[in-house]
Structure 1
Amino acid sequence: MRTLLIIALLGLTQQLFGKTNPDSLLLKIDKRNQTLIGEKPDKNKTLREELDKVFQSKGLVLSDSLWQQIRTVIRTDSEGDSSLSLQIGNSKVKIGVIKSGAQYDSPQKTFKMTYPNDERVFRVKKDSLGKSIVIRSDGKEEVRVGWNGIHVKDGKEEVHVDWNGVQVKEANGEETKVIWGRDSTKTQSKDKKMNLYERKGFNVYIGLNGLTGDMPENVIAIYPSPFLNTDKELKPLGSRFVSLDFTSAATIARGKKSAFKLGYGFAFDWYNFMFDHNRVVTKTASATNFQPILDAQQNEIQLNKNKLTASYISLPIVPHVVFSKQSAIKMIGLGGYVSYRLDSWTKTIEEKTDNLTRNGSNFNLNQVRYGVKAEVALKHVGELFFNYDLTPLFEKNYGPQLTAFSFGFKL
């Protein structure tokens, strides 16, 4: 197989030198007879004299040091072929020392070589696309050399060398691949080639919020009451959920038409609870309750806007199954999330005066929350999501035990 590679490289060099560099010189020397192959032999001249003649025809000089290098290559005790490449001025010289016993014909364009005790016949030519040089035998052995690499076939064994690395296929079917650098053949992910839906990248989730749970029973007869059953009521369209999500996915299992993946990443979430009453979330020394804003006459001030906002950083983990982008259901996911509170505040706007008040506090909100998340991507609808907190909005014994949820679309 090494012989095939050397012959292929010599053939490629001949093609490239002949077309791209007119000052190149390619010579072949018969190792046993020490004569130039392809030149009319002159028994009265030595090998050096023949080389001198060829060098002079190209305007080059065969120096003593170069002649000694050539003699060293010729005398090398090797059963295979050898070569010597060098630069003389602006000219490139390639000298191949061929194993004894080989005969050649038509050396200018193609060459045919046979060995006395070997029935193999090799011919060098271009393939149908003109992209490589092909050295063929009887079908059991083949060498292709071109810009896409070198491919050598010897019976059931195959070796391919290209810009990405080396691939070796053994006779028993085992394959070995060694990659150096980035594999340029992987220009697309398998999901794109299979046209599967991909849940990754930067996403924006937008939807509505809600609260579930019961308000504490009022056992203290004071005015204003710290809690009312109506305190958890929200304005549906004003209570919005927004999430900026950065996610990726790892493939766990893959089929022909689907794949099971694990989605992961991080997100920034904002809960906006717009209350449908005039009682504002207030933190006292002992707890969090709802209180109205009173004027000088101790009358409740009517509010045009009354909301509680909390922001979190979240770590969502969503195992999901993806299907073809052309399927009616492109993705189904069910997982969870863990969040850490970053900030929280209340904002009110008075109805008559438009006075705006903003108060920042932790309001005894749970610093850490966690919950479940479900997602589904539909062909003609888009991607829908539903989040449900498993932890109460407020800390236990410091506020009403209300649970938040959100739902909506992924843009």
Structure 2
Amino acid sequence: MRNLTIYLALILLLFASKMIAQETTFEARAKAIAIKIETITKNEKEALKKEVEEVNVQLDKGKITTEQADNSKQQLAKVRATNIENKVAALQEELRSLVQEKVDGKLEESYKPNQIFVFSKSTGENKEKHQKYRDSLANVSEKRTTSQFVFATGLNNLVTDGKATNSDFRYLGSHFYEWGTTFNTRILEKNNLLHLKYGLSLMYNNLRPTDNRIFVKTGDQTVLQTSTIDLKDSRFRNVYLVAPLHLEFDFSKTKMKDDKQIFKSHKSVRLGFGGYAGLRIKSKQFQKFEDDDQNFILKAKGDFNVNNFIYGVSAYLGFQETSLYLKYDLNPMFENNVVKQNNVSVGVRFDFN
């Protein structure tokens, strides 16, 4: 399962490598973070490859059994996957801060492909060439299938008995993150309205219980109980690898150039609806408390009776690369709980061409 996570990260970063490194816009900085993730995953993967080769050498020499070799490989993969997770977590916080800067209006507008900056004095002939070049860039037709780097964040909670009111979880403290890559295919050859959007994403759903409570697993039930410790913070996280699929209505205008239609995407209002399905990678609970003026964080990892599979419906509505985003899990979060609770998320989503 962890190898799938590494594989997904590599896919994302192949796309991110196309970024313009010197740009200081929101899109470029987000892609710069993706390049950092690429470096992390590449280094950890190479290190794991060497360690596995060493285990194979010991196996060939008869120093260890096949069972011991398999166990060693699993432990090595677990360590490297944990390294990736811990290092990427810091980059997720960097992305969160970047989104906040975007919301606060502290960032420059996006780079436009028809903006040409000339730093030397141009003759009339050169100006004409520059103008023709700008016009040619402005009229380039996008391929029928394009790719995007997707990042989404917002609020997360549970719907209990069909209601999200009077929740057992903090509304502002519970949040979600999602990042991945998508492919966007124009369905009709001569019409730009309908697109099929599909890809892979990592989804992080966080819940912060109220009233000093934590999740406790009792047999096949997982319930909230008051902690015996005075907690400064309690957080429960599920991480999923999902495959989203959306039918997208893109209202970007189609232009005519020399009697030829020029198609563009992500240039106007967009509406998408569809769903997602995937696998749970892990579940983890964090408890933060203070004792003798020292801060402590307890981390508990396990299945917590959380469903290993996830599927749901989602929709988004926005302009250009920015959209409002809504997701709802159709299956309950806990597999056997008497009370069924389904995860719901609402936030903002960015699709960077």
TM (normalized to structure 1)?
A: 0.44
User: What is aligned with 2:156?
Assistant: 209
Gaps of 5+ in 1: 1-187, 216-228, 295-300
1:366 equivalent to 2:313? Answer: no
Match of 2:331 among 378, 387, 391: 391
* Aligned 8 A contact 2:144 2:185 in 1: no
Change (3 A) 1:240 1:194: same
SS at match of 1:394: coil
Match of 1:402 among 335, 338, 341: 341
> Per residue, is there more helix in 1 or in 2?
2
Change (3 A) 1:327 1:410: closer
| C-alpha deviation, 1:302, in angstroms | 2.1
1:378 equivalent to 2:319? Answer: yes
Change (3 A) 1:271 1:341: same
Write out aligned runs for 1:150-299 (5 A).
193=140, 200-214=147-161, 232-255=167-190, 258-294=192-228
Equivalences, count: 200
SS at match of 1:409: strand
| C-alpha deviation, 1:214, in angstroms | 4.1
Match of 1:304 among 232, 250, 267: 232
Change (3 A) 1:401 1:351: farther
Percent identity of equivalent pairs: 26
| C-alpha deviation, 1:250, in angstroms | 2.1
| C-alpha deviation, 1:410, in angstroms | 1.8
* Aligned 8 A contact 1:386 1:408 in 2: yes
Write out aligned runs for 1:8-19 (5 A).
none
Gaps of 5+ in 2: 1-135, 254-264
* Aligned 8 A contact 2:155 2:175 in 1: yes
User: What is aligned with 1:321?
Assistant: 249
SS at match of 1:238: coil
Distance 2:333 2:209 in 1: 15
Distance 1:240 1:198 in 2: 32
Change (3 A) 1:243 1:387: same
> Per residue, is there more strand in 1 or in 2?
1
Distance 1:233 1:328 in 2: 41
| C-alpha deviation, 1:293, in angstroms | 2.5
Change (3 A) 1:399 1:313: farther
| C-alpha deviation, 1:327, in angstroms | 9.5
Change (3 A) 1:394 1:370: same
1:349 equivalent to 2:278? Answer: no
| C-alpha deviation, 1:242, in angstroms | 0.6
Q: Deviations over 1:98-118 (max 9, x none)?
A: xxxxxxxxxxxxxxxxxxxxx
* Aligned 8 A contact 1:208 1:407 in 2: yes
* Aligned 8 A contact 1:205 1:243 in 2: yes
1:338 equivalent to 2:269? Answer: no
Distance 1:357 1:273 in 2: 16
| C-alpha deviation, 1:199, in angstroms | 7.3
Write out aligned runs for 1:51-66 (5 A).
none
Distance 1:309 1:337 in 2: 19
* Aligned 8 A contact 2:151 2:180 in 1: yes
* Aligned 8 A contact 2:282 2:303 in 1: yes
Amino acid at match of 1:365: V
Distance 1:289 1:192 in 2: 58
Amino acid at match of 1:341: R
| C-alpha deviation, 1:329, in angstroms | 5.0
Q: After the TM superposition, which parts of structure 1 deviate over 6 Å for at least 4 consecutive aligned residues?
A: 195-199, 325-328
Distance 2:208 2:179 in 1: 20
Change (3 A) 1:192 1:368: farther
RMSD, aligned α-carbons: 3.2
| C-alpha deviation, 1:202, in angstroms | 1.3
SS at match of 1:365: coil
* Aligned 8 A contact 1:329 1:376 in 2: no
* Aligned 8 A contact 2:145 2:186 in 1: no
* Aligned 8 A contact 1:365 1:395 in 2: yes
| C-alpha deviation, 1:382, in angstroms | 2.4
Distance 2:215 2:303 in 1: 11
Change (3 A) 1:249 1:309: same
Distance 1:265 1:195 in 2: 19
* Aligned 8 A contact 1:197 1:322 in 2: no
| C-alpha deviation, 1:407, in angstroms | 1.3
Q: Deviations over 1:167-189 (max 9, x none)?
A: xxxxxxxxxxxxxxxxxxxxx99
